[in-house]
Amino acid sequence: MRYPNGQKNKHVQRVSGAARTMGFSNRGMTLEEDINATNDFYRNTDKAIIHKKPTPVQIVNVHYPKRSAAVITEGYFKQPSTTDYNGVYRSRYIDFEAKETKNKTRFPLANIHGHQIEHMKGVIRHGGICFLIIRFSVYNETYYIPAEMFFPYWDNQFNDGKKSIPYETIQKSAYRIPFHYQARVNYLAIIDQLYF
């Protein structure tokens, strides 16, 4: 790229062939960024109030290289986190975990932790809507999996079952979330289908 005076712009990066063929909905965006943008859209249009939960961290050591800058050099998680997102939609409590995998054939259950499953089971027991959003980044496909559908796979791994869910099973049984311009991961459309 050249400026009008003929000089080259030194800051323009070349785009590889693989990056050029990437789908419109995945232009360097992660699942988390897409969900955060979706939640911003939901809040701005007063459709729902859903936020990413902050992870509680205990700061232990801070380095001050300059008076105006501080760098955290040591910190610890105060407690295990639960799920990624929660909020309210149509008077119902919403709680979900979001995971992205590069695996082409399966979703490894090791991506989820036992304390998260216990939290999700508690949400279901108390009448909340709980689910997982899983993105297979190699296919650029995002799926909504109700927690109740996920629990048997989780529990089965402790009874000599598989330690993953095959991609084909998710493709057939879960709900695919299509990309939308403003609500990139429009999971409320699935909730409307299932609950309202």
d(CA 31, CA 133): 9
Mean pLDDT of 140-153: 97
26-54+80-195: CATH topology: Trna Endonuclease; Chain: A, domain 1 (3.40.1350)
- pTM for this model (two decimals): 0.76
Mean pLDDT of 170-190: 94
Using the predicted structure, report yes or no on whether residue 127 has a pLDDT greater than 90.
yes
Domain boundaries in the chain? 26-54+80-195
> Given pLDDT bands bounded at 50, 70 and 90, which one contains residue 2?
very low
Instruction: Give the residue from 110, 89, 109, 85 showing the smallest Cα distance to 98.
Output: 85
> Given pLDDT bands bounded at 50, 70 and 90, which one contains residue 12?
very low
Instruction: Give the residue from 52, 113, 45, 35 showing the smallest Cα distance to 79.
Output: 113
- In this structure, the dihedral spanned by the alpha carbons of residues 71, 77, 81 and 84, taken in order and rounded to 10 degrees, is 10
Using the predicted structure, report yes or no on whether residue 27 has a pLDDT greater than 60.
no
Residue 147 vs residue 70, higher pLDDT: 147
> Given pLDDT bands bounded at 50, 70 and 90, which one contains residue 53?
confident
Using the predicted structure, report yes or no on whether residue 84 has a pLDDT greater than 80.
yes
pLDDT of residue 29: 62
Residue 150 CA, chain-centre distance (Å), reads 16
> Given pLDDT bands bounded at 50, 70 and 90, which one contains residue 79?
low
pLDDT of residue 136: 96
Instruction: Give the residue from 46, 34, 60, 50 showing the smallest Cα distance to 83.
Output: 50
One-letter amino acid at 95 equals D
Task: Please state, rounded to an integer, the average pLDDT across all residues of the chain.
Answer: 84
